[in-house]
Structure 1
Amino acid sequence: MDKQTLRKVYLGKRKTLSTLEYQRRNQLLTTQLISFVRNKHFKNIHIFLPITSQKEPDTFPFIYHLWENHPEINVITSISDLKTPEMQHYRIDKQIVIQPNKWGIPEPRNASLFPIERIDCVLVPMIVGSKTGHRIGYGKGYYDRFLQKCSSSTFFLGISLSPLLEGNIYADKHDQKMNATVTPFQMHPFNKEY
């Protein structure tokens, strides 16, 4: 199966999750993420904001957990420029208003720009990922461009609601490999201590 077909198949699988199964997987995912961040020394974690109507992994419970339990950690998110395709990064907290844009993508309003070189962990959305650290996203390249600009010490954590696949799932040269992945079913490390 080629990359485009895998993307289509796993997007379809995600969209057909029942409400109860979607909620169950997100609860398990949140538990995995809370476990992951425990005893880490991350100061600036970049977290994507989900389109829950598309059954993307719901990162909001994890964000709320960080705000309540880890005030020393800055939560960073981004706004995508759909013309360039680049992303600008912003620090968010409980006071920041988050609203969907005209495409339904949640975005912060009146947040402060945050320097990319200070981000030390990125939660990377995956439609599906592999046990070798590769991922399939939406195919627009936003995250590959973003990750290439991060510090060499930044930790890349792939996030998916689907189980991991065997093999490299047709990784391209420009694709950025994950340091670990988290699914509702497992935490899988690759090439960095975590």
Structure 2
Amino acid sequence: MLKAELRKKYTQKRKALSPDEAFLLSENIFENFIHYFNPKESEKVHVFVPIPVRKEIDTQIFIHYFLAHNIRVYVPKIVGDQLINIEVFEETVFEINNWGISEPVSNEDSGENAFDYVITPLLYCDQKGNRVGYGKGFYDGLFQNVSAETKKIGVNYFDPDEYVDDVWENDISLDYLVTPTKVLSFLSGLE
């Protein structure tokens, strides 16, 4: 299917989830992530802050866990037309931006690009790790600048069951997909 069709289909599927279903599925995704990757103290995780109105995976669960276990947390913030990476702490002050996204008040880019993990928002991911996001390209730009060792991890309520037909030259695929029931690797034996 084309990205536009997949974007529409999976936006509708996500909207059909009740708040309780979405939270339970988010908890299952979190548990699968922790069980599979077992992040350690001082590792660096870049993780998006969810947009509740879009029923994104509740990554607040991840963020609270990471901070409680001394895992360094970085969140994205759009400044102008650039995505910057801000390190956050328990005391970090957040505000809601014009798109309804909670983000740090600070505009101080950490300059960090050697993340251990980048937990990536998406609407759909196929069986090859091709991601369908919101179409702005911010994460493709981020992926171009992270270290080669960074694990690019998508999180989704739904398992992949169809291919993205219009993968573009600049699209960067994911290394892993975490769903409520499994963790898929797209590294083809490189682990």
TM (normalized to structure 1)?
0.89
**Does residue 61 of structure 1 match 2:61?**
yes
Q: Which position in structure 1 is the counterpart of 2:22?
A: 22
User: Could you say if the C-alpha distance between residues 129 and 111 of structure 1 is closer, same or farther in structure 2, counting changes exceeding 3 Å?
Assistant: same
Task: Select 1:99's aligned residue among 75, 91, 95.
Answer: 95
Give CA deviations for 1:113-138 in whole Å, capped at 9, x if unaligned. Answer: 31232223111111011121111000
Q: Which position in structure 1 is the counterpart of 2:52?
A: 52
Q: Which position in structure 2 is the counterpart of 1:164?
A: 160
Map 1:117-136 → 2, pairs under 5 A: 117-136=113-132
Counterpart AA for 1:19? P
Counterpart AA for 1:137? G
Root-mean-square deviation over aligned CA pairs: 1.9
Map 1:139-154 → 2, pairs under 5 A: 139-154=135-150
Q: Which position in structure 2 is the counterpart of 1:37?
A: 37
Q: Distance in 1 between matches of 2:51 and 2:9?
A: 19
Q: Which position in structure 2 is the counterpart of 1:79?
A: 77
Q: Distance in 2 between matches of 1:149 and 1:131?
A: 24
Q: Distance in 1 between matches of 2:181 and 2:77?
A: 29
Following superposition, the deviation at residue 111 of structure 1 comes to 6.9
Q: Is the 8 A contact 1:47 1:76 kept in 2?
A: yes
Counterpart AA for 1:185? T
Give 5+ residue unaligned stretches, structure 2: none
Give CA deviations for 1:46-69 in whole Å, capped at 9, x if unaligned. Answer: 00000112101110011111111x
Following superposition, the deviation at residue 22 of structure 1 comes to 1.1
Q: How many aligned residue pairs are there?
A: 189
Identity of aligned residues (%): 30
2:94 match: secondary structure: strand
2:113 match: secondary structure: helix
User: Could you say if the C-alpha distance between residues 171 and 127 of structure 1 is closer, same or farther in structure 2, counting changes exceeding 3 Å?
Assistant: same
1:27 match: secondary structure: helix
Q: Is the 8 A contact 2:86 2:107 kept in 1?
A: yes
Give CA deviations for 1:136-155 in whole Å, capped at 9, x if unaligned. Answer: 00011111111111112211
Q: Distance in 2 between matches of 1:61 and 1:12?
A: 24
Counterpart AA for 1:57? I
User: Could you say if the C-alpha distance between residues 2 and 50 of structure 1 is closer, same or farther in structure 2, counting changes exceeding 3 Å?
Assistant: same
Q: Distance in 2 between matches of 1:156 and 1:40?
A: 17
Q: Distance in 1 between matches of 2:40 and 2:165?
A: 30
Q: Distance in 2 between matches of 1:40 and 1:158?
A: 19
